[in-house]
């Protein structure tokens, strides 16, 4: 492969890593971390693209939707830096490939980052610091602050560098249409992950009760007929194991949501997303849709629909 004419220096990558700490600064309901991502990419874009047009194109493609745990975003950033560097040196990597890689990585990595950082490391350090702090000992807060930030800064820098090197490895083999395959693969993975995210992270649940049916005797636990004390608990549990959750009450309550879930779980979320796709294609402004959704949420809560 020919020597690169344009390369990101360590200084550039350090500047990007520093700015990456402000990733969530403009977190918004429309495209989430997109503003912070673009802000972080600026030193790289300045280095890689000289003409106003190229710069504007780069800035625009880095204002696309992006959301993941802010620390595991670092390897994604590293890979993106590598892809952009290759593109600036003339290798044809299109916008769909770059966005596909970002979207494809952001979901699964968030699945790692959220449990590891928010639900393991921070609670452990927090509990450790808190127990020291309960007696007024300043070592508690200091320990929490220092340990957390050392781990975080090391992680942010080293995984970004790792992603950067891995990214350049991927793009080294240009022949055999590897990049074309990565583009297709990235859109496949991206759409797959978005399908999963629509199901899991768009939450709509309807509260109305469709029917309340009194069950036949024997289909529910007759609480008044149970023996008292521990024997009663045992009998109740045995009956529960047999009858299932519907056996707990005399009346079987069927909600709208449970009916929908029997068709396809997440159906409402899917329909809403497809509706938004249609509205956006018809040039309805995203901010109008978002405000409308909040209004719908409030109204639905008031009338008891959601």
- Measured from the CB of residue 303, what is the shortest distance to other proteins in angstroms? 10
Give dist(CA 122, CA 149) in Å, integer.
11
Cβ closest to other proteins, residue 3 vs residue 53: 53
The H or E element that residue 211 is part of is strand 209-214
Please, are residues 59 and 84 in contact by the beta-carbon 8 Å criterion?
no
Helices (H), 173-245: 178-201, 229-243
CB of 85 to other proteins, least distance (A): 18
| Smallest separation (angstroms) from other proteins to the CB of 7 | 20
CB of 162 to other proteins, least distance (A): 18
Q: Which is nearer to other proteins, 232 or 265 (CB)?
A: 265
**Shortest distance in whole angstroms from residue 66 CB to other proteins:** 9
Token match 């595991």: residue? 72
**Least distance (Å) between residue 130 CB and other proteins:** 4
The per-residue DSSP string of 90-134 comes to T----HHHHHHHHHHHHHHHHHHHIIIIIIIIHHHHHHHHHHHHT
CB of 252 to other proteins, least distance (A): 23
Cβ proximity to other proteins: between 165 and 278 the closer is: 278
Quick one: 9 or 28, whose CB is closer to other proteins?
Answer: 28
3-state DSSP call for residue 174?
Answer: coil
Which is nearer to other proteins, 143 or 248 (by Cβ)?
Answer: 143
Task: Specify the residue, 25 or 92, whose C-beta has the smaller distance to other proteins.
Answer: 25
Nearer to other proteins, 83 or 186 (CB): 186
Number of H helices, E strands in the chain: 12, 2
DSSP-assigned beta bridge partners for residue 212: 253
Q: Is 194 exposed, middle or buried (0-12, 13-18, 19+ CB in 10 A)?
A: middle
DSSP-based three-state secondary structure for 222: coil
Q: Are 72 and 112 in contact (CB under 8 A)?
A: yes
> Backbone phi, then psi, for 273, in 5-degree steps?
-65, -45
| Residue count of the chain | 306
């Amino acid at each position: 492969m020919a020597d690169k004419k344009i390369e990101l220096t360590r200084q550039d990558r350090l500047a990007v890593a520093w700015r990456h700490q402000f990733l969530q600064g403009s977190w918004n309901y429309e495209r989430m971390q997109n503003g912070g991502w673009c802000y972080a990419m600026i030193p790289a874009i300045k280095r890689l693209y000289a003409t106003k047009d190229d710069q504007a194109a780069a800035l625009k493609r880095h204002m696309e939707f992006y959301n993941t745990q802010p620390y595991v975003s670092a390897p994604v950033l590293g890979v993106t830096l590598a892809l952009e560097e290759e593109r600036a040196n003339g290798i044809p990597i299109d916008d769909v490939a770059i966005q596909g890689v970002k979207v494809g990585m952001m979901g699964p990595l968030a699945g790692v980052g959220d449990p590891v950082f928010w639900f393991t490391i921070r609670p452990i350090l927090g509990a450790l610091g808190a127990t020291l702090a309960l007696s007024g000992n300043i070592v508690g807060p200091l320990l929490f602050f220092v340990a957390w930030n050392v781990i975080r800064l090391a992680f942010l820098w080293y995984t970004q560098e790792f992603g950067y090197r891995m990214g350049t490895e991927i793009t080294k083999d240009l022949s055999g249409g590897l990049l074309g395959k990565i583009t297709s693969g990235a859109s496949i993975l991206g759409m797959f992950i978005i399908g999963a995210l629509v199901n899991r992270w768009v939450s709509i649940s309807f509260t109305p009760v469709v029917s309340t049916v009194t069950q036949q005797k024997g289909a529910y636990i007759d609480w008044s007929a149970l023996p008292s004390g521990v024997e009663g608990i045992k009998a109740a549990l045995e009956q529960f194991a047999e009858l299932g959750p519907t056996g707990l009450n005399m009346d079987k309550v069927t909600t709208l949501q449970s009916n929908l879930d029997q068709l396809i779980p997440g159906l409402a979320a899917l329909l809403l997303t497809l509706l938004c796709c249609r509205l956006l294609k018809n040039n309805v402004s995203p901010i109008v849709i978002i405000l409308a959704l909040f209004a719908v949420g409030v109204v639905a809560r008031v009338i008891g629909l959601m």
